[in-house]
Structure 1
Amino acid sequence: MRINVLQHASNEGPGTIRSWAEDHGHDMYIYHPNEFYKLPNINETDMLVILGGPMSANDDDDWIKAERKLIHEAIDKDIPIYGACFGSQQIAKALGYRIAPSPVKEVGWAPVYLKANIIDNFPKKLMALHWHGEMFEVPNQAKLLFSSDLLKNQGFVINHHIMGLQFHFEPMQTDLREIVVNDGEYACDNALNQSAADIINYPVPKENKKIMYQLLDYINQ
């Protein structure tokens, strides 16, 4: 299987999504559309992963609009899609739903709560990394998948093959360090009241890798 990844920030890579691909014998190709203005061919895509980034789905850049066209093509072909943070907002926006400033800026570690029982023996409460100031409306055809204490719309799943999460399960410890040492200033004045030092010193939960694998297995069934 060819997994095409859209990466929008050099410090926000695929993390355990890469591990999942390698462990399953899949080929991963990483594109940087905001840097090289290049997107994969949908006919060479068996799974589409859209990662986070500092930009907004409401921005008017041509590459952002082109990404949403690619998302539509993937939906039409029933190709599994996984979006994290900006990626989840791109999916929602592609489907015609609003992306707006979040009522709170969530940056740091905080629990999320499962709202849809789609996977057997899946934990009801998990610790996730939050790094966002905008939010999506959950599409009408979607199931609300996760909520947090501060924000209801934290994740959705559509027709078994499309999943968007506002937060991050994919970073490993090294990925966390890379995110924070390069973008730790974004943690200033956030609703979780965590500093960059608080965030980087928090041990990534060991279960998050297993959770990421379960979610990716689910949309590829």
Structure 2
Amino acid sequence: MRINVLQHTPNEGPGMIQDWSQKHGHEMYIYHPYQFGYLSTAEETDLLVILGGPMSPNDNLSWIKQERDLIKELLNQNKPLFGVCFGAQQITKALGYEVSKAPAKEVGFAPVYRRDAKFLNIPEELNVLHWHEEMFEIPADAQLLFSSDRVENQGFILNHRVVGLQFHLEPKRDNVREIVVNDFPYLKGSVLNQTSKEILETRISDDNKQTLYKLLDYIVEK
């Protein structure tokens, strides 16, 4: 399987998604459209992963619109998509739904709670990394997958092929360090009121990895 990854900032890479890819012997190609302007084609994509970033889907940038065109092609071909934060917002925007300011800016670790999709056998609660102040609408045919205490729309699953998460399951310890040391000013104004030190000292549960793997396994099932 060829996994094409759209990365949107140097400090938010695929993390444990890459581990999952290597575990299954897949080939991963990482694109940086914000810097180089190149995207994969739908024909050469078996799974598209759209990662987070500091931009908004509402920004008037040509590469953001080109990403959505690719997403639409893959949706029409029923190919699997996995979106994280900005990536999940891009998927919903491609489907015709709004991306808007969330009720609260969440930056740091905080719990999310499973809503639907009990068949996936994932935990009812996960302590995850949040790094956002916008949110997506849930597509009409999608299941609400996760909510937090402050933002209801934290995750969705659509047609057995698409998962979008507003939060981050993919970072490993080193990835969290990279995010924090480069983007710590973004902590200002967060309702979670966490310091860089508190975030860096938060343990990442193995449940996050297992949940990520189950979601990826699910959308690529034949």
Structures share fold, TM-score greater than 0.5: yes
Q: Report the counterpart of residue 54 of structure 1 in structure 2.
A: 54
Identity within the alignment, %: 55
Further displaced range: 100-109 or 192-201: 192-201
Q: State the Cα distance separating 1:120 from its structure 2 match.
A: 4.1
TM-score, normalization: structure 1? 0.98
Q: Report the counterpart of residue 14 of structure 2 in structure 1.
A: 14
- Partner amino acid, structure 1, of 2:3: I
- Partner amino acid, structure 2, of 1:114: R
Contact between 2:120 and 2:214, CA under 8 Å: does it hold in 1?
no
Alignment partner of 1:72: what SS?
A: helix
Q: Deviations over 1:72-117 (max 9, x none)?
A: 0100111100000000000010001010011100000000000112
Q: Report the counterpart of residue 178 of structure 2 in structure 1.
A: 178
Q: Deviations over 1:147-196 (max 9, x none)?
A: 00011000011101001000000000010000001001101121111112
Q: Report the counterpart of residue 216 of structure 1 in structure 2.
A: 216
Q: Report the counterpart of residue 95 of structure 1 in structure 2.
A: 95
Correspondence 1:80-159 to 2 at 5 A:
80-159=80-159
Contact between 1:185 and 1:196, CA under 8 Å: does it hold in 2?
no
- Partner amino acid, structure 2, of 1:19: D
Q: Report the counterpart of residue 77 of structure 2 in structure 1.
A: 77
CA distance in 2, matches of 1:15, 1:9: 13
Q: State the Cα distance separating 1:205 from its structure 2 match.
A: 1.4
Q: State the Cα distance separating 1:206 from its structure 2 match.
A: 2.1
CA distance in 2, matches of 1:155, 1:59: 22
- Partner amino acid, structure 2, of 1:77: Q
Number of residues of Structure 1 aligned to a counterpart in Structure 2: 221
Contact between 1:127 and 1:205, CA under 8 Å: does it hold in 2?
yes
Q: Report the counterpart of residue 68 of structure 1 in structure 2.
A: 68
Contact between 1:3 and 1:29, CA under 8 Å: does it hold in 2?
yes
Alignment partner of 2:180: what SS?
A: helix
TM-score, normalization: structure 2? 0.98
Q: Report the counterpart of residue 200 of structure 2 in structure 1.
A: 200
Instruction: Indicate the RMSD between aligned Cα atoms, in angstroms.
Output: 0.8
Alignment partner of 1:104: what SS?
A: strand
Q: Report the counterpart of residue 42 of structure 1 in structure 2.
A: 42
Q: Unaligned regions of 5+ residues in structure 1, if any?
A: none
Alignment partner of 1:164: what SS?
A: strand
**1:167 corresponds to 2:167:** yes
Alignment partner of 2:35: what SS?
A: helix
CA distance in 1, matches of 2:132, 2:117: 25
Further displaced range: 176-185 or 113-122: 113-122
Q: Unaligned regions of 5+ residues in structure 2, if any?
A: none
CA distance in 2, matches of 1:122, 1:210: 8
